[in-house]
Amino acid sequence: MEQTTRRFFVFLTLIVLLLAAIFFTGDYRSRYTFAEDLLLIGLSPVQGFFSQLGWRIYRFTQAVRDHNALVEENKALREELAARDNLRYQLMELQKENYRLRQMLNFKERVSYELLPAQVIARDPSQWFETITINRGYADGVERNMAVVTSEGLVGNVTKLARNSAQVLLLTDSRRAVSAMVQRTREPGAVGIVEGYPEAKGSLRMVNIPPEARLQVGDTVISAGIGGIFPKGLIIGHIVETGSDQYGLLQQAIIRPAVDFNRLEEVFVVLQLPYEE
Amino acid sequence: MSELEINKHNLSLYLMVFLLSLFILVLEGSFLSVFFKSAKMPDFLLVMLVCLAFIWGEQTGIVLGLLTGLLQDLFFGPALGFFALAKMVVAYLVGLTAREVYKDQLAGPMLIVFMATFVHEFIIFFLRLLFWGHGGDFFYFLDVLFLRKAAYHLLLAMLFYPLLYRAGRRGFFHVFQKQ
């Protein structure tokens, strides 16, 4: 009986200690401890190996299953690529024109993101948190809060760092919030907050949108660049549903993310945000 | 068995569980996550822990819960101690109930894995609410996570429990113990 009581007190003490550990390490620590770092340094290549193995098997099984569909998709992609090339040239022309106009207005400009390519080596398998692990860490110049993107759009930001790996909090996590606006209108007063929406797995929710903002289903939502973490103008997703919030005072919208968070393989870390003077 | 022998035996068990947990976490996070969307991924680590805590009792369960939970925190946790707390409490409770249930029959551990999944997910829901202020819609999680996950785990326990039980009886967890 005495032993059982002693065990119970040890158990209670451990609960208190763990609660304290969660409190002190939750949002404040950006780096792992030395011991954790050491373990992760050894394990990152192993994670990378298993991740690559998984993707290879996945691609092979998909290719076997969808051979005909792939031929069709390949054709469609080639056509899309040609169209995009065309669009890219138009964009380059516009950039040049933009540059010339800015020069005329005496604007000094530096519009280049410094991007670091990274490979996704793990993903949190528990359904409670939306995080991935990438194979770049503080040794590569990655810092806490740096934005992570793909060519499709915004992915999330770096939260914890080891020497050669880092944890990235995805946009779909309910702890994440990003200031955003609708690309079509770009109304300065119509900035809302995009957050994870766990009740609809894989979707995002834009809240706190002023009632006068003009929203339409299909509108593209982009980052507003407020807060200094996420670059302005990156695509977050497209509106699939609009409505009022629970109090009927503000608007909210459900967003389908531009990035397929279930198929993230390679990403870019934004080492330096562009700035204008 | 003397106390020294018990400690040596436990150290070997902890080391084996540590290595198994590492393997499971790497497999879950890096390999299986490619095939499973996150909402359908079972928690193999939890199933293993519950089976082991059921076999070895609450004292060993506490240590195994801490060990596996801290490893999960290292890989994926939002804070150090988050999964460790959930897994330690579950392992302790499972260890306590194990005294009253026959270990060589499958029905008991299957039911315990089912209930342990509920407790584990509820603790996580509560901790999210406590530390981040947004647990989410409880009834959504009850349906999608608690019930479905518990059902997956019940099926997995049918496979895992006999394997781990036999492995334990044949000395698999004693391989690091000097004779």
pLDDT tens across A175-193, in order? 878 888 888 877 766 788 8
* Contacts with B26 from chain A: Cβ below 8 Å: 43, 46-47, 50, 122
SS3 A123: strand
Report if residue A36 sits inside a domain: no
- Is A128 in contact with B128 (Cβ distance < 8 A)? yes
- Tens of pLDDT, residue by residue over B136-166, are 677 777 777 788 888 889 999 999 999 988 8
- Pair A70, A166 in one domain: yes
- Pair A101, A132 in one domain: yes
A106 falls in which pLDDT band (50, 70, 90)? low
Indicate the pTM of the whole model. Answer: 0.79
Please, which residues have CB within 8 angstroms of residue A6's CB and are 6 or more apart in sequence?
Answer: none
Report if residue A250 sits inside a domain: yes
Report if residue A6 sits inside a domain: no
- Is A26 in contact with B88 (Cβ distance < 8 A)? no
- Pair A153, A194 in one domain: no
SS3 A271: strand
- Tens of pLDDT, residue by residue over B108-139, are 889 999 999 999 999 998 998 888 877 667 77
- Pair A100, A139 in one domain: yes
- Is B33 in contact with A131 (Cβ distance < 8 A)? no
Query: What is the reported pLDDT for A211?
Result: 84
- The Cα of B50 is separated from the nearest Cα of chain A by a number of Å equal to 16
- Pair A115, A181 in one domain: no
A204: which strand partners? A196, A255
* Alpha-carbon distances, residue B55 vs A115, A148, B85, B96, B103 (angstroms): 51, 44, 20, 11, 7
State how far the Cα of A79 lies from the Cα of A77, in Å rounded to an integer. Answer: 5
- Pair A100, A73 in one domain: yes
CATH number at residue A236: 2.40.10.350
Nearest chain B residue to A53 by CA distance is B31
- Pair A188, A238 in one domain: yes
Place of tokens 């946009």: A171
Residue from the list B72, B124, B136 with its beta carbon closest to the beta carbon of A198 = B136
Q: Which residue type is seen at B35? A: F
- The Cα of B101 is separated from the nearest Cα of chain A by a number of Å equal to 18
Percent of chain B predicted with pLDDT > 70: 88
- Is A125 in contact with B38 (Cβ distance < 8 A)? yes
Domain count, chain A: 2
Q: How many other CB atoms sit within 10 Å of the CB of residue B49?
A: 29
Report if residue A109 sits inside a domain: yes
Structure tokens at A43: 């394990």
Which CATH number does B3-174 carry? 1.10.1760.20
Nearest chain B residue to A176 by CA distance is B132
Examine the predicted complex and report whether its ipTM is higher than 0.90.
no
- Is B131 in contact with A22 (Cβ distance < 8 A)? yes
- Is B37 in contact with A262 (Cβ distance < 8 A)? yes
Give the start-to-end residue ranges of the domains of chain B: 3-174
- Pair A142, A188 in one domain: no
**Which run of H or of E encompasses A178?**
strand A177-182
Is the predicted pLDDT of residue B90 greater than 90, yes or no? yes
- Pair A167, A75 in one domain: yes
* Contacts with A122 from chain B: Cβ below 8 Å: 26, 29-30, 33, 75-76
* Contacts with A126 from chain B: Cβ below 8 Å: 38, 41, 43, 72, 76, 83, 124
* Contacts with A17 from chain B: Cβ below 8 Å: 81
Is the predicted pLDDT of residue B2 greater than 50, yes or no? no
Q: How far apart are the first and last CA of chain A?
A: 73
- Pair A136, A216 in one domain: no
Determine which of A45-49, A106-110, A149-153, B171-175 has the lowest per-residue pLDDT on average. Answer: A106-110
Determine which of A30-44, A103-117, A197-211 has the lowest per-residue pLDDT on average. Answer: A103-117
- Is A122 in contact with B75 (Cβ distance < 8 A)? yes
Report if residue A53 sits inside a domain: no
- Is B83 in contact with A26 (Cβ distance < 8 A)? no
Determine which of B52-61, B71-80, B98-107 has the lowest per-residue pLDDT on average. Answer: B98-107
Q: How many other CB atoms sit within 10 Å of the CB of residue A130?
A: 24
**Domain residues for A103?**
65-173+264-271
* Contacts with B30 from chain A: Cβ below 8 Å: 46-51, 54, 121-123
- Pair A156, A92 in one domain: yes
A215 falls in which pLDDT band (50, 70, 90)? confident
